[in-house]
Amino acid sequence: MSLPANDAAAARAPSFDIDIELRRGDFRRSFAIRSEQRVIAVVGDSGAGKTSLLHAIAGLLRPSRGHIEIAGRRLFDSAARIDLPAHRRRIGYVFQDARLFPHLDVRGNLLYGLRGEAARETRFQLDAIVELLGIGPLLARGTAGLSGGEMQRVALGRALLSQPRIVLLDEPLSMLDMNRRDELLPYLQRVRDETGLPMIYVSHYPEEVRRIAEEVHSVG
């Protein structure tokens, strides 16, 4: 199965051009990442600011200065006074914990991604995402009985159904044991290969990084 290409803007070689400073209380970090690769990994010690960097990209944390441009889209530029709100950045964000809605079954969690502007687009459709992630047998199940790997697959599906232009993955395997990690990695590779989306992958595990990313950037 091959999913549709992202859009005309993504037909060019995707790139990351990030040069920002973050300040929050006593926390202060500068980040500079430039890459022509489509899928990059960000690594660093605990407390280095990896999650804060992703939050800034997603529009959840405002940099004190600098710019963020991904795949030709300027998301933030303090000098040019550009600061797209989070809902307009079109970012699919997968957290360490799946953050599924317990009152919805798997289908309901997936369809939650198809709200607002996402409901008017057809790049990533429910049936294709269900097949890509192998979650067809889970659709009618509640979230309470899912394994950690199943929950992360559903969270990834929900993120893709939001019709993103960028995918951020913040240590999506960190809460899984080794067997579950090995089970989920092939699905992450399929998403990488078949969606064509720019991706930033944060991880502490070198093996994950080697199997997912085309280029690695250290922070901290």
Summary mean pLDDT of the chain? 90
Structure confidence at residue 29 (pLDDT): 94
Helix (H, G, I), strand (E, B) or coil at 218: strand
* Confidence category of residue 185, pLDDT binned at 50, 70, 90: very high
pLDDT reported for residue 9: 43
Residue 206 confidence (pLDDT) above 90? no
Domains of the chain: 12-218 (3.40.50.300)
Give me the mean pLDDT over the 190-219 stretch: 93
Residue 175's pLDDT band, with cuts at 50, 70 and 90, is confident
Quote the pTM value: 0.90
Strands 27-35 and 215-218: unpaired
Strand partners, 166: 91
Q: Give yes or no for a contact between 168 and 188, defined as CB atoms under 8 angstroms apart.
A: no
Place of tokens 């006074």: 81
Task: Using pLDDT thresholds of 50, 70 and 90, give the confidence band for residue 8.
Answer: very low
C-alpha–C-alpha distance, residues 95 and 173, integer Å? 9
Q: Measure Cα distances from 8 to 3, 87, 159, 193 in Å.
A: 15, 20, 21, 18
Average pLDDT over residues 28-36: 95
List the alpha helices (DSSP H) in the chain: 50-58, 106-112, 126-133, 148-161, 178-195, 206-212
- Short-list 86, 87, 69, CA closest to 78: 69
Q: What is the pLDDT of residues 90-138, one digit of tens each?
A: 999 999 999 999 999 999 999 998 877 777 777 899 999 999 999 999 9
For the cut 60, the answer to whether the pLDDT of residue 4 exceeds it is: no
